[in-house]
Structure 1
Amino acid sequence: MKPNKDFEELKPPTFGLLLRKLRDTRGVSRERLAFNAGVSASYISHLEKGDRGHPTREVVDALVRYLDRIDPLSVVERRHLLDLAGLGVSEFPSIQQLRAEITDDMRRALDLHEPNLAAYIDTRWNVLACNQSYARAFPGLAEDVNILRWYLSNDKAREVMLEWEEEVRLTVHWLRGLIASSGDTAWSADFLAELGRFGLFREIWDDGIAAYGRPNSVMHLADDVTGRCRAIDVQLFSVFSAAYPTQIQIFLGIPTWCADTGVPLDPGHPSLTPDE
């Protein structure tokens, strides 16, 4: 997939941009929202333009109460708005810092999960360590480090991910939610600049949709050797770390050969054959 070099700079999600979107979709003017939330219209304007700092909890609650009266916010919209307001901010450690937390015992545990797929990943989907089954299932991912980078820039991702575009779309939506919940836009600005070279990423990002998890636990992969469809039942568990208690997860994938799932096999993978 070739990057698109002709583009405008992508920006991380902000409280103001989301507030404007929620207000516009409900047909509410700044003046009307301000009056009902007990603030000035100029304050709403400054919030939406990003000219003011994070609003207080009281202000956010007042804005949400009125928007809810017009049309209730979804659970995701509510969480996304609160996250962008800086309520629950944390900073991300570097990949090197997180990898230093993976002990020899933890690495041995990955091997004990063979032949199931197992890896330690951070909450930004950077691979910190993995077993051989994981590396074979996602060829090149350990070297590319990040799942979105692998999806968009590595041809192997298209070959093995039978629902490639659906997985890309989910992960981009998840990235928007992640940036909001972290409050750490320094890393996200650089990451968006990298991923923004790809037209599909820009298209999905412009949807403005946030997600906070997978809608189902199963992903479908083509075996890199035989080409046969495998259904991977994915589970994620938090891993205790004294230094970074919420940043490391273990990915466990239990593979089975696909039965009659209706999942289309990739026509670009000539070795693909259905189960007998």
Structure 2
Amino acid sequence: MTPFGLRLRALREQRGVTLSELAAAVHVSAAYLSALEHGKRGRPSAGLVHQVNEFFGLIWDEAEELVRLARISHPRVVVDTSGLSPRATELANQLARRIRDLPEERVEALLQELNKPG
């Protein structure tokens, strides 16, 4: 599941909206929305995110947060380390190899470290 997928599912559940209802409203298939929620499809288009924001009546911070989550929700990431240090390349490769085995608390600690300013 992606961050966008998790938030989309939470919105649907909070508002009592089925996949089929949302799909019909935003003119996509329920299968596509399900795949988005489960991280089986790439990040959603800006247009779809806008439609979801309108459907749920999200404005200001909530709408911006959904846009941000969509941006960071591509389930197949490619990291270009050309021009970076050998250690940066090693880090990218280690993470690619081991991310599935990391416990959630380690993932959270890494995210907190990466989200620190500067």
1:31 is aligned to 2:24: no
CA drift of 1:34 comes to 1.2
CA contact (8 A) 2:4 2:66 kept: no
Structure number with greater Rg is 1
1:20 is aligned to: 9
* Residue aligned with 2:72, SS: helix
1:93 is aligned to: 81
CA drift of 1:42 comes to 2.6
% identical equivalent positions: 28
CA contact (8 A) 1:60 1:82 kept: no
Q: Say what the alpha-carbon RMSD is for the aligned residues.
A: 4.1
Q: Provide the rounded CA distance (Å) in 2 between the counterparts of 1:91 and 1:44.
A: 26
1:84 is aligned to 2:73: yes
TM-score (norm 2): 0.56
Q: Matched residue pairs, number?
A: 107
1:55 is aligned to 2:44: yes
Which gives a bigger RCO, structure 1 or 2 (Cα 8 Å, sep 6+)? Answer: 2
The structure in which a higher percent of residues are strand is 1
Q: Which runs of 5+ in 1 are unaligned?
A: 1-11, 101-125, 127-183, 215-235, 237-248, 250-276
The structure in which a higher percent of residues are helix is 2
| Structure 1 segments (4+ residues) deviating >6 Å | none
Selected match of 1:193 from 98, 101, 104: 101
CA drift of 1:79 comes to 0.9
User: Equivalent residues in 2 for 1:1-276 (5 A)?
Assistant: 13-67=2-56, 69=57, 71-72=58-59, 73=62, 75-85=64-74, 91=79, 93=81, 97=85, 187=95, 190-191=98-99, 193-194=101-102, 196=103, 201=105, 236=117, 249=118
Q: Provide the rounded CA distance (Å) in 2 between the counterparts of 1:90 and 1:193.
A: 19
Write out per-residue CA displacement over residues 130-156 of structure 1, whole angstroms, 9 at most, x where no aligned residue.
xxxxxxxxxxxxxxxxxxxxxxxxxxx
* Residue aligned with 2:9, SS: helix
